[in-house]
Amino acid sequence: MFSKKLTKKLLALGAAAMLALAAAGCGGSDKADAPKEAANGKLTIAINATFPPFESVKEGTHDYVGVDIDIARYIGQKLGKEVTFTDMKFASLVPTLQSGRADMIVSAISPTDERKEVLDFTEPYYYPMKAIICQKGAGYDSFEKLKGQKAGASMGTTYVQELKDAGGIEVVELDNTPLVVQDILNGRLAAGLFDAAQAAVFISQNDKLEMHTLNLPIVYADTFAIALPKGSKDVATVDGILKEMQKNGEMHKILVKHLGETATKQYEEAIAKLDIVK
């Protein structure tokens, strides 16, 4: 019913993420010591490593790769700190930062009003478009066509709320995006809502899926920004580093590395026209 090749990749991604999580000591004493480590020259970054091309575990390794991973490492280098990553469910990112078990979140997290009540955010560094993934030929290219159907998204993300706000859709929250893809392939879900760049990765891995980029306005609460503890004095510093990356071409190089030349060019041309960026 679904691609054995992709299922194997999805399971490998999950298994690798769990191994990396264990290696990082997630849930153990390493987390409790994070603030002390930061003071001693270490920077603990909270991530959800099931979101390619922004963050994932390289297949067959414990290595984290992606746009956000490279951004975090650049920030650590500029701050003169050794970067360590702690991987978890997306829904656990905010409470982990609040409890002091991480120094910042660099994980495609959006600065929603609810999150801004308990965290501080940098200015946006990425302006995502959204896409629906469904089985090839299903043709779910709008929220309207999904009414009466079951659709999924990763738990704790803004994509869940957007599906709910559309109305008439039975919304299913799953622990991560690979599980959403797997449920689309096996027929438990009609479709899923994703970041368009991530959707392109999943589509490239399976010819039984199709994606439809949605022509929706991009608002501030949908952008990706870096989250820091409420009241942090480092927000302006990290903002300055992000601006430096835009000016010196480092951000462009990172996007090309993980999205490709063509996709990066299309993205940069599209966001140049956005009022929110100006």
Q: How do residues 145-197 score in pLDDT, each as one tens digit?
A: 999 999 999 999 999 999 999 999 999 999 999 999 999 999 999 999 999 99
Answer whether residue 222 shows pLDDT above 60.
yes
Tell me which residue of 255, 265, 277, 220 sits closest to 69, measured CA to CA: 255
CB 202 within 8 A of CB 51: no
CB 189 within 8 A of CB 183: yes
Residue ranges covered by each domain of the chain:
4-126+222-259, 130-213
User: What is the C-alpha to C-alpha distance for residues 55 and 68, in angstroms, rounded to an integer?
Assistant: 6
H or E, element range at 99:
none
Helices 235-248 and 67-79 meet at what angle, rounded to 10?
110
Tell me which residue of 207, 25, 164 sits closest to 102, measured CA to CA: 25
Specify the pairing of strand 170-174 against strand 150-154.
parallel
> What is the end-to-end Cα distance of the chain in Å, rounded?
47
Structure tokens at 142: 């709008």
Same fold, 4-126+222-259 and 130-213: yes
Question: Which conformational region is residue 45 in: left (phi greater than 0), alpha (psi within -120 to 50 degrees), or beta?
Answer: beta
User: What is the C-alpha to C-alpha distance for residues 50 and 64, in angstroms, rounded to an integer?
Assistant: 10
Kindly indicate the confidence band of residue 233, based on its pLDDT and cuts at 50, 70 and 90. very high
Structure tokens at 162: 């957007």
Provide the 10 A C-beta neighbour count for residue 164.
13
> What's the CATH number for 4-126+222-259?
3.40.190.10
User: What is the C-alpha to C-alpha distance for residues 256 and 252, in angstroms, rounded to an integer?
Assistant: 6
Tell me which residue of 17, 8, 47, 51 sits closest to 153, measured CA to CA: 51
User: What is the C-alpha to C-alpha distance for residues 88 and 82, in angstroms, rounded to an integer?
Assistant: 20
The CATH superfamily holding the domain 130-213 is: Periplasmic binding protein-like II (3.40.190.10)
Query: In terms of pTM, does the model score above 0.85?
Result: no
CB 211 within 8 A of CB 203: yes
- pLDDT single digits (tens) 236-272: 999 999 999 999 999 999 999 999 898 899 889 888 8
